[in-house]
Amino acid sequence: MKGSDTADRMSSCTKRERPVFWADGKLHLVNQPALPEKFEIVTMDTVAEIAAAITAMTVRGAPAIGAAGAYGMFCGARESSAADA
């Protein structure tokens, strides 16, 4: 697949097609346990909330868990009061 085809396909993705996405400074996850009866997006913006979602298996699948964990690391850095790394 050519790069432009990939870019076109990605730009047409909707939030409903992405199990993990970042918007408005918050992490949004498809609530996996609610499926297939209900489609629900849960929103979080703290390390504790993200860790709880991973533990509770709100987010499932290795790629989605990895992405949620990476966003959790970002939130941890954002929450930190440290002056440097």
The Cα 18–Cα 30 span in angstroms is 8
- In this structure, is residue 85 part of a structural domain? no
For position 14, what pLDDT does the model report?
55
Look at residue 66 and tell me if it is in a domain: yes
Specify if 52 maps to a domain.
yes
Which tokens belong to 37? 């009866």
Indicate whether 84 belongs to any domain.
no
> Looking at the domain assignment, is residue 11 inside a domain?
yes
The range of the structural domain enclosing residue 73 comes to: 3-79
Helix (H) or strand (E) holding 71: helix 62-79
Question: Can you give the pLDDT at residue 38?
Answer: 92
Residue 62 lies in a domain: yes
CATH number at residue 66: 1.20.120.420
Specify the higher pLDDT residue, 60 or 14: 60
Number of domains the chain is built from? 1
- pLDDT interval class at 15 (50, 70, 90): low
